[in-house]
Amino acid sequence: MNYQTVTEALNALRLLEEKQSALSHAMNMIVYDAATAAPKNTALGRGKTLGILSEYMYELIAAPENMEWIAYLHEHEDELTAEEKRRIEMTEKSCQQISRIPQNEYTEYQMLLNDAQTVWEKAKNENDFPAFAPYLEKIVAFNRKFAGYYNPAMAPYDALLNEFEEGMTMDVLDPFFEKLRSAIVPLLEKIRLAEPIDDSFLHRSFPVEKQKQCAEYLMAVLQIDRGYCGLAESEHPFTDNFNNKDVRITTHFYENNLTSALYSVIHEGGHAIYELACDDRYNQTAIAGGVSMGIHESQSRFFENIIGRSEPFIHAVYPEIRACFPEQLSDVSEEAFYRAVNRAEPSLIRTEADELTYCLHVMIRYELEKKLIAGTLAVGDLPSEWNRLYREYLGVEVPDDTHGCLQDTHWSGGSFGYFPSYALGSAYGAQMLAFMKKDIPDFEEKLRVADLADIKGWLGEHIHRHASLYQPSVLFENACGSFDPSYYVDYLTGKFKKLYHI
């Protein structure tokens, strides 16, 4: 069909966006169900359905006529709004996504990842890195090649970073991590010599039913409308967003760990708050939902750590938490609870790390994957380099690869360039805090009574409502100027020096 008018071409865009969003809604719902409610032997039929829906998705976005109206719209860019241009840009990206890797290489890679997943799980369980190494070598080689397809003008690792955080480069990350390292590593050494914080009471027996009550209470404190946001249980906590009126978060309750579920509810709650506050107008368009992994993590970590583990917030919520567990917490003061949930201790496992040491775990992965992709680190040398960096930055000895370089699923899943967003998110959040405080003079007082309305209002205005309208760096700069890691470093050093009296 020939497009005669901009309106016709925009209608074609709208139709594609709606179909694409409906298909991903259906697919995500099936995946969400699999992780939360589906009985354990139901994978077979689900796999078949997902396969067929993926084919529909492929046909939809690979259709040659898409390129016709996209080309027509490019010719008439002066008649388009900034919002329309961004929708076209994002749609074009997803249309090109599938054609940029040759079909045979794509299929071969998917098969490799499929095998690698099984091999990695076994290797992790059996502490057998050599069994996984040949797969990792191939995955690295594929990613170096794909980086060239994504953006031949960029350094391969930059091209991969860009897949997760549009516009992010090593030029931004190198000085960021360098600044973190030079501040946090010496601070951690001082903490190690300081009086340790007792958090043993967090591992008493906390009945799951009561924890559920507590989780509901925290959802209410976060002012998350349960009419639009579900809370379910899964092996690993996650957030799924179907549109800005239907978000699902999950958690996992452990009887002997009070804070794991509660803080994961606040973390996923932060993701949900972002999605729920995206402007209605972007629903079912290519710019619906949060813009990037880094900005998303900035919201979840902001609520989990900056708010959730702050002194005034603990002051506000601890009475209710203690009321849920009168026996278990009768001898635990508000201050003891605050100190316990902030205990910093160098450890081996990233996902269990505290707020302070977390960024060092991420930094180690950044340094290693950067070298793997650049070809300056051989896969065979990965375990010894991993262990060396854990010794140097965290001061811990890695006993085996199970607790070392085999612990994360990212590399076996082909995700290179993903890790930095975790640390970036925390740093973005700290800078947002500084700017928000300028606009909310009674920030502390509000927090002391768990009144989050102004805080959510600030984030809603500057971040949430824009969904994916702007590139992450533009969105961030509009909200709080150019990215400056000093805010994060100052936040962490200020908080932990006070906490450990050093």
Least separation in angstroms between CB 469 and Zn ion: 22
CB atoms within 10 A of CB 242: 19
Query: Is residue 300 close enough to count as binding Zn ion by CB under 5 A?
Result: yes
Contacts of 419 (CB under 8 A, 6+ apart): 362, 365, 366, 369, 410
Q: Determine the interface stretch with Zn ion among 36-44, 299-307, 342-350, 359-367 (rule: CB under 5 A).
A: 299-307
Query: Is residue 305 close enough to count as binding Zn ion by CB under 5 A?
Result: no
**Which residue of the chain is nearest Zn ion when measured via CB?**
300
Least separation in angstroms between CB 350 and Zn ion: 13
Place of tokens 């409308």: 225
Of the pair 259, 300, the CB lying nearest Zn ion is at: 300
Query: Is residue 357 close enough to count as binding Zn ion by CB under 5 A?
Result: no
Q: Determine the interface stretch with Zn ion among 215-223, 295-303, 315-323, 373-381 (rule: CB under 5 A).
A: 295-303
CB crowding 3-39: b at 16 or more within 10 Å, else e: beebeebbebbeebbeebbebeebbeebebebbbeee
Q: Determine the interface stretch with Zn ion among 44-52, 67-75, 131-139, 292-300 (rule: CB under 5 A).
A: 292-300
Place of tokens 């601070």: 187
CA distances from 46 to 26, 28, 33, 165, 238 (A): 12, 12, 10, 31, 20
Query: Of the listed 92, 268, 304, 367, which one is catalytic?
Result: 268
Q: Are 271 and 249 in contact (CB under 8 A)?
A: yes
- Reply yes or no on whether 268 is catalytic: yes
**Backbone torsions φ then ψ of 264, nearest 5 degrees:** -70, -30
Of the pair 120, 422, the CB lying nearest Zn ion is at: 422
Give the C-alpha separation, 55 to 417, whole Å: 27
Least separation in angstroms between CB 251 and Zn ion: 12
Of the pair 91, 357, the CB lying nearest Zn ion is at: 357
Of the pair 296, 462, the CB lying nearest Zn ion is at: 296
Of the pair 156, 270, the CB lying nearest Zn ion is at: 270
- Size of the residue set binding Zn ion (CB under 5 A): 1
Q: Determine the interface stretch with Zn ion among 62-70, 86-94, 294-302, 401-409 (rule: CB under 5 A).
A: 294-302
Residue 284 φ/ψ region, left for φ over 0, alpha for ψ in the -120 to 50 degree band, beta for the rest: left
Least separation in angstroms between CB 66 and Zn ion: 32
Least separation in angstroms between CB 239 and Zn ion: 7
Of the pair 143, 300, the CB lying nearest Zn ion is at: 300
Least separation in angstroms between CB 95 and Zn ion: 28
Identify the H or E element spanning 5: none
Q: Determine the interface stretch with Zn ion among 52-60, 296-304, 309-317, 452-460 (rule: CB under 5 A).
A: 296-304
N-to-C CA span, the chain: 71
Token pair for 369: 């994957």
Sign of CA dihedral 27, 33, 36, 39: negative
Interaction with Zn ion in 84-143: which residues (CB under 5 A)?
A: none
Look at residues 68, 86, 64 and name the one whose alpha carbon lies nearest to residue 77. Answer: 86
Provide the 8-state DSSP code for 419: T
Strand order in the sheet with 246-251: 229-233, 246-251, 239-243
Of the pair 295, 433, the CB lying nearest Zn ion is at: 295
Least separation in angstroms between CB 145 and Zn ion: 30
Active site residues: 268
Q: Which residues bind Zn ion (CB under 5 A)?
A: 300
